[in-house]
Amino acid sequence: MELAKVTSKGQVTIPVEIRRKLGIKNGDKVLFMEEGGRIYMMNSSMDAFREAQRAFSGEAQQAGLNSEEDVVRMIKELRQESVVK
């Protein structure tokens, strides 16, 4: 457990160990979420990445991309199409 003090402006310094665990760097934004009466803080970039993963879940299989080789083949085909145009 870490402890931080709130300033008169409502600012809090996030302890270094918490920043490391959340992958928060200088200039990053943090997200506060309420769930079940508890407040959670997370790295907003990681939350956006997880949301994108959920949104694209299953899309590769639907496109017939089941292996890395399939992805490489598709990229080569797309590059070839763009050169021909």
pLDDT tens digits, one per residue of 10-60: 999 999 999 999 989 999 999 898 999 999 998 888 777 778 778 888 888
- Mean pLDDT throughout 64-71? 87
Place of tokens 């017939």: 64
Contact yes or no for 24/40 (Cβ under 8 A): no
* H/E run at residue 33: strand 30-35
Nearest residue to 11 (alpha-carbon basis) of 24, 30, 34, 25: 30
Give the per-residue pLDDT at 64: 85
Give the per-residue pLDDT at 84: 67
Tokens coding 31: 């997200």
In order, the DSSP letters of 58-74 are THHHHTT--SHHHHHHH
| pTM, to two decimals | 0.54
Polymer length in residues for the chain: 85
The domain spans of the chain are 26-84
